[in-house]
Amino acid sequence: MVRSVIFDIGNVLITFDKLLACEELTTYTKEKTADEIHKLLVGEDLEHLLETGTISETQFAKKALTKINAQGLDEKKFLEIWSDVYEGNNEIIDLLNELHERSVPMAIVSTNSTVAYAACRKFETVRLFEDWKAPIILSHEVGVTKPNEKIFRLALEALGCEAKDAAFIDDITENIEAAKNLGMAGIEYNAKVHSIQYLRDELSRLIAL
């Protein structure tokens, strides 16, 4: 029986769409479409460098502006646009509170950056974990992203539990498979696709709700 639950942030605790930022960035460049900007900044290694803490926010912004040949846009405004892509997933709040009231240990494991997490923590679903002083393992702080097993092991260590006693909830199949390979249970859940009842049903197979 699962005793601890580990949550992803993006499209689990909150939703996001980076194409929204890419579309806004097209107003500052006549050369690139939103899809082309997305490929340059997300599909290649640039954002990965930010998410592993290899480069700073300012370095990321400067490199990004150069890549898309943006005009009339400074680093500060670029970062504001880049991080304004999130929406809350309030449907999950009751479930989080229920797990907390039942003293189920919870944690966050997220591929994230400093600028992204600053935006994410504005939402109640993320702030709850901070209020509860739950472990929050962020890629830019530990130097690796999912699906690297190190980031999962850090969460398990912080929770003080073995892999067989934990469930991981994420919206990406590759990350779920990585967690399962360590011995964890995995639930693939995307807040933009699945209902909260689906998540409850999947969790109830693993933990008493």
Q: Which residue numbers in the chain have pLDDT < 70?
A: 209
pLDDT at 14: 98
- Helix 93-101 and helix 196-204, axial crossing angle in degrees, nearest 10: 30
pLDDT at 127: 97
pLDDT at 17: 96
Number of H helices, E strands in the chain: 12, 7
pLDDT at 43: 81
Give start and end residues of each alpha helix (H) in the chain: 18-25, 34-38, 46-51, 57-68, 75-83, 93-101, 114-120, 124-131, 139-142, 149-159, 173-181, 196-204
pLDDT at 35: 95
Q: What is the residue extent of each domain of the chain?
A: 4-15+87-204, 18-84
pLDDT at 126: 98
pLDDT at 1: 81
Terminal Cα distance for the chain, rounded:
12
Tell me the pLDDT tens digit for each residue of 26-69: 999 988 999 999 999 998 789 999 999 999 999 999 999 999 99
pLDDT at 45: 87
**CATH classification code of 18-84:** 1.10.150.240
**CATH classification code of 4-15+87-204:** 3.40.50.1000
21 touches 11 (CB < 8 A): no
